[in-house]
Amino acid sequence: MEWITIKAEPRTEKGSISCRHLRKKGLIPAVVYGRKEPEQLLMVNRRDFVSALQKGARLINLAISDKTEKVLIKDVQFDRIKEEPIHLDFNRISLDEMLTMEIDIILKGHPKGVVAGGVLEQNLHRLTIQCLPTNIPANIEVDVSALEIGGLVRVKDLKLPGKVKAVTDAEIVVGGVHQPKVEEVAPPTEVSAVEPEVLTAKKEVPEEGAEGKEEKKPGAKEEKKPAAGKEEKKPVAAKEEKKPAKEEKK
């Protein structure tokens, strides 16, 4: 990895108000620490740092006044709206000291499985490695051209540069080609047909006060009931015919 030199100047004031003033002037507040040396507050030109970042730089020769320190870009904070760097953390390093850091994984090529209708999916985007500062690769490229549907690439399958060791678990899947997922559509539920009610059909509505009356059968004679307050007349028995009396004997 290429070393890029960036100029930095010490700063004495700290706090959110002071940092905002620096950003308005085109400067980025920064701090450098490590190697059992005291922490130092710095300010870096925004244009110089963004240029180095766009080149993929991780190792920096930090020129501070009359000395130069070899540092690693440890952390960069960005403004969520403007997407500009607003604070930097640099870590002092030694050329003979092993470093543990993360680098990007880039998939290269067009898999055979994708040609056959599969889908390429990348599961791991950054790999944790351990190496000397002079052996840090810019990234790790993985050729996936030969992957068929169902084919996978694990961390143990990666071809790392010499003197670079992977710290990430060897069995973790980096990426693979999968059969596209097909959403199952449930068959339509059969609904029994219900005959709709005919709103125009006439309904027989009982007349008011007709409730409780028995339905008259055709041909049946209606039994007359005596009017209230009148006694029912009983039939008079026929008068017995009187027989003539026998004549008295003289």
Dist. CA 163–CA 96, nearest whole Å? 13
Work out the number of other CB atoms within 10 angstroms of the CB of residue 159.
8
pTM: 0.62
Q: DSSP string spanning 167-214?
A: -S-TTSEEEEEEPPP-PPPPPPPP----PPP-TTS----PPTT-TTPP
Residue 230 neighbours by CB distance under 10 Å? 7
DSSP string, 139-152: -EEEE-TT--TT-E
If residue 122 lies in a helix (H) or strand (E), which one and from where to where? Answer: strand 119-122
| Number of other residues whose CB lies within 10 A of the CB of residue 164 | 17
- The edge-to-edge listing of strands for the beta sheet with 165-166 is 140-143, 99-108, 126-131, 165-166
Instruction: Return the closest-CA partner of residue 31 out of 88, 75, 76.
Output: 88
Q: Return the pLDDT at 204.
A: 56
Count Cα atoms within 13 angstroms, Cβ side, for 12.
0
Q: Domains along the chain? A: 3-93 (2.40.240.10), 100-178 (2.170.120.20)
What six digits make up the tokens of 236? 């008079």
pLDDT per residue rounded down to tens, the chain (250 residues): 678 999 999 998 888 999 999 999 999 999 999 988 999 999 999 999 999 988 888 889 999 988 899 999 999 999 988 889 999 999 999 989 999 989 999 999 999 999 999 999 999 999 999 999 889 888 999 999 999 999 999 999 999 998 999 999 999 999 999 998 776 666 766 655 555 555 555 555 555 544 444 445 555 455 555 555 445 555 544 444 455 544 444 4
